[in-house]
Chains A and B, each alone.
Chain A
Amino acid sequence: MFQATRFTRRKRQYELLARATFFLMTLLIVTPLILIVGYLIYQAWPILSLDFLITNPRNGMRSGGIWSPLLGTIYLVVISLLVATPIGVLAAIFLNEYARENWFTRVINLAVVNLAGVPSIVHALFGLGAFVLFAGLGKSILAASLTLAVMTLPVIIASTKEALASVPIPFREACWNVGATRWQTIRHVVLPNSVGGILTGVILQVSRAAGETAPIMFTGVVFYKAIKEGDPFAYGLFDQCMALSMHLFTISTQVPDVPKALPYGTAVVLLGAVLAVNALAILVRLRLRSRRKW
Chain B
Amino acid sequence: MPAIPKRPGVEILAERAIEVLIRLCGVSAILFVFGIFFFVFREGSQLLFHGFNFREFFFSAEWYPTSQSHVRYGALALIAGTASVTLLAMALAVPFGIGTAVFISEFCGTRAKESLKITVELLAAIPSVVWGFVGLTVMNKVIIELFHTPIGLNVLNGGVILALMSVPIIVSIGEDSLKAVPDSYREAALALGVTRWQMIYRVLVPAARNGLLAAVLLGVGRAAGETMAVLMATGHAVKIPTSLLDSVRTLTATIAAELGEAAVHSDHYQVLFIIGILLFTITFVINLAADLIVRGVRRG
Contacts and interface: CB of A to CB of B under 8 A. Distances in A.
- A contacts B directly (C-beta below 8 A): yes
Interface of A: 11, 14-15, 17-19, 21-23, 25-26, 28-30, 32-33, 36, 39-40, 86-88, 90-91, 93-95, 98-99, 107-108, 110-126, 128-130, 133-134, 150, 153-154, 157, 181-184, 204, 207-208, 210-214, 217-218, 245-246, 248-249, 252-253, 263, 267, 270-271, 274-275, 278-279, 282
9 contacts: A11-B195, A22-B100, A26-B100, A39-B138, A86-B25, A108-B29, A125-B259, A183-B19, A211-B125
B85 interface: no
Contact of A87 (B25, B167, B276): B25
B91 interface: no
A214 B228 contact: yes
Contact of B225 (A122, A128, A153, A271): A122
Nearest to B14: A183
A270 B130 CA distance: 8
B95 to A, nearest CB: 7
A128 B167 CA distance: 31
Contact of B29 (A157, A184, A282): A157
B220 to A, nearest CB: 10
B32 A150 contact: yes
A133 B274 CA distance: 17
A263 B136 CA distance: 11
- Is the contact region of chain B dominated by helix, strand, or loop, or is it mixed? helix
A278 B121 contact: yes
Contact of A90 (B22, B222, B224, B276): B22
Contacts of B200: 18
Contact of B221 (A18, A110, A117): A117
Contact of B291 (A30, A40, A113): A113
Contacts of B126: 33, 36, 211, 271, 274-275
Contacts of A252: 133, 136-137, 232
Nearest to B276: A125
Nearest to A32: B164
A117 B218 contact: yes
Contacts of A117: 218, 221-222, 225, 283-284, 286-287
A112 B128 contact: no
Residue in B33, B134, B138, B164 with the greatest tally of chain A CB atoms within 10 Å: B33
B136 to A, nearest CB: 6
Interface stretch (B47-55, B65-73, B102-110, B241-249): B102-110
B28 A91 contact: yes
Given A25-B99, A117-B286, A274-B126, A125 B30 contact: no
A120 B227 contact: yes
A216 to B, nearest CB: 11
A18 B196 contact: yes
A244 B231 CA distance: 17
A128 B40 CA distance: 9
Interface in B65-121: 95-97, 99-100, 102-104, 106-107, 116, 118-121
A120 B106 CA distance: 35
Given A245-B129, A246-B129, 17 more contacts: A14-B197, A18-B196, A25-B95, A30-B120, A87-B28, A90-B26, A91-B25, A98-B19, A98-B22, A108-B27, A115-B32, A124-B256, A128-B43, A129-B40, A204-B125, A208-B125, A278-B121
A125 B197 contact: no
Interface string B143-170: 0000000000000000000001001000
A46 B104 CA distance: 38
Contacts of A211: 125-130
A130 B284 CA distance: 20
Contacts of B227: 119-121, 213-214
A210 B128 CA distance: 11
Contacts of A98: 19, 22-23, 26
Closest 6 CB pairs of A and B: A211-B127, A119-B225, A94-B26, A25-B99, A90-B25, A18-B197
A120 B284 CA distance: 13
A278 B119 CA distance: 11
Nearest to A125: B276
B252 interface: yes
Nearest to B193: A11
Residue in A18, A21, A26, A129 with the greatest tally of chain B CB atoms within 10 Å: A26
A133 B264 contact: yes
Interface string B24-47: 111111101101100110110000
